[in-house]
Amino acid sequence: MVPDTLGALLEQLRERAGLSVAEVKKRTGFPLSSVYRWHTRTGRPELDVLQKLLDFYGATPSETLLAFRLRARPPEPRDEDQEATDEGDAPAFAARGVA
């Protein structure tokens, strides 16, 4: 099945490589929290970092192209932002005092 999010693709590549998130952190030197976010669909790595991850995983040219296409999509709203919108309230970031 073709992944429909960047996080799903990175997760698929990581699993194919037989690595845990902690092993990816250890071998790449990227912060564990960042690696976790990238693989759980809540974060998007910068373009240079994405290329390093794809190289690390041995992504094929078609997987690399898919990754950059998925990276170009606008981020999906987080659940808490969606809930605030559904209730007619200000977005969650406004409630936290962020202008």
pLDDT per residue as tens digits for the range 73-96: 876 666 655 544 444 544 444 444
Q: Does this model's pTM top 0.85? A: no
* CA distance to 1, 19, 65, 66, 98, per residue, from 4 (Å): 9, 21, 13, 9, 31
Query: For the chain, what are the domain ranges?
Result: 6-95
Within 10 Å of residue 81's Cβ, how many Cβ atoms?
Answer: 13
Give the CATH class of 6-95. mainly alpha
d(CA 91, CA 94): 6
pLDDT per residue as tens digits for the range 38-62: 988 778 899 999 999 999 999 999 9
- Runs of H (alpha helix) within 1-99: 6-16, 21-28, 32-39, 47-57, 61-72, 79-86, 92-95
